[in-house]
Amino acid sequence: MPGLERLAARELDDALEGATVLETLKQFDDRTSLLLFTYAGDAADLLDLALFEDVFVLVADRARIGGERAALKTIAGLVTGSGLESAFRTANPIRPGNRKKPTYRVIARKAGDHAYRRTDLRAAVEKAIAERHPDWTFADPARLEVWTQLVGDHLVAGIRLSDESMRQRTYKLANLPASLKPTVARAMALLTKPQDDDVFLDPMCGAGTILIERAHAGRYARLEGGDIDHAAVQAALENVGTRYKPIAIREWDARSLPFADGEISAIASNLPFGKQIGTREGNRTLYPALLDEWTRVLKPGRRMVLLTSEGRLLRSAVKDRPGLAWEQTLPIVVRGLPAEIFVLLRIPDAA
């Protein structure tokens, strides 16, 4: 996800010994960034990364690819070269299905001006693979997905190791409109700087994604969540099931929470954008009221991490509240909408 590159690079460094980031191609299509890295360990380890939407084994990486139609032949040759066979050997044990008679398909993406269409790019690579590997069978869906991505004049191609469960997770049984992506939810949980004794709160929990991602991020003392929408509470309860104890999910008004002053040690929440949920006019009074209540229940010296597309409104509300200090902001893109993750610090009370 654009905006999470630095956190993703940190996750690589922490989780995989010897992993080294080589390059970041930001905002490939306003919704995706590509992070190129090396890792000499078991490729299956990559499937446990929590801040990545997908992982691939590299087939080709070449800058200064021309935009003229003649470049299609060059691209097809690069994708079907020795890198494809090496990538296949890595992906073959991981991808489910018949290892001796693989099926394949090509996903082509491009950003920038070129004298050919995305469909032309896909067709050129499909034809080259068919000629190079006549024993492979084209199919859709397929066991092997060869992603050919052109960012301006930079070609990056790879075989996908992951599947839908990496970015959608397996716990999401119930979804709601404007439901948060698990990768963004995990980033928000991590930005609270989790501690083993956390009493972690999402006061507007929706389907429970942030709560569940915090549970997977490390030890905690207690998880608390709630929502004013009855359907959201039911969805969160369904997604949580019998796991992640101790946890409580309740129906409430986030402007009036059943907690004592300073009882909560970390807060993360996806605020209403005023589009699918709420209104921009309503947010002008809602945001200040939420900050007042959430600051009250948050322990001094701890963090509140909030996601919104109403950055100007939130900045104004924070500025008017001396109990909060801005720590950092991460611009991101959420389902095509520019948004920001705000990390706020509850200022310790004066002695």
Q: Which residue type, as a one-letter code, is found at position 193? A: K
Burial 102-114 (b: 16+ CB within 10 A, else e): bbbbbebbbbeeb
Q: How many CA atoms lie within 13 A of 201 on its CB side?
A: 27
Instruction: Please give the chain's pLDDT, 351 residues, in tens.
Output: 888 999 999 999 999 999 999 988 876 666 788 899 999 999 999 999 999 999 999 999 998 998 899 999 999 999 999 999 999 999 998 987 767 788 999 999 988 899 999 999 999 999 999 999 999 999 999 999 999 999 888 999 999 999 999 999 999 899 888 789 999 999 999 999 999 999 999 999 999 999 999 999 999 999 999 999 999 999 999 999 999 999 999 999 999 999 999 999 999 999 998 665 667 788 899 999 999 999 999 999 999 999 999 999 999 999 999 999 999 999 998 877 899 999 999 998 754
Tell me how far apart the alpha carbons of residues 49 and 10 are, in angstroms, rounded to a whole number: 11
CATH of domain 169-346: 3.40.50.150
Predicted confidence at residue 28, as pLDDT, reads 66
Region of residue 336 (phi > 0: left; psi between -120 and 50: alpha; otherwise: beta): left
With residue 116 as reference, give the H or E element that holds it.
none
Give counts: helices (H), strands (E), the chain: 10, 14
As annotated, the residues of the chain forming the CATH 3.40.50.150 domain(s) are 169-346
Predicted confidence at residue 65, as pLDDT, reads 92
Contact 346, 318 (CB under 8 A): no
Predicted confidence at residue 334, as pLDDT, reads 84
Residues 53-78 pLDDT 10s: 999 999 999 989 988 999 999 999 99
What residue ranges in the chain does DSSP mark as E strands? Answer: 20-25, 34-38, 56-62, 103-111, 137-138, 144-151, 154-160, 199-202, 222-227, 247-251, 264-270, 298-308, 324-334, 337-346
Q: What are phi and psi of 145, to 5 degrees?
A: -115, 115
Residues 258-293 pLDDT 10s: 999 999 999 999 999 866 566 778 889 999 999 999
pTM: 0.92
Q: How many CA atoms lie within 13 A of 27 on its CB side?
A: 11
How many of the other CB atoms lie within 10 Å of CB of 188? 27
Instruction: Identify which of 33, 27, 72, 65 has the alpha carbon closest to the alpha carbon of residue 52.
Output: 33
Tell me how far apart the alpha carbons of residues 32 and 4 are, in angstroms, rounded to a whole number: 10
Query: For strand 20-25 and strand 34-38, is the pairing parallel, antiparallel, or unpaired?
Result: antiparallel
**DSSP letter, residue 32:** -
Predicted confidence at residue 142, as pLDDT, reads 93
Predicted confidence at residue 276, as pLDDT, reads 58
Q: Report domain 5-166's class.
A: alpha beta
CA distances from 113 to 2, 66, 77, 147, 157 (A): 21, 10, 21, 19, 19
Tell me how far apart the alpha carbons of residues 314 and 319 are, in angstroms, rounded to a whole number: 9
As annotated, the residues of the chain forming the CATH 3.30.2130.30 domain(s) are 5-166
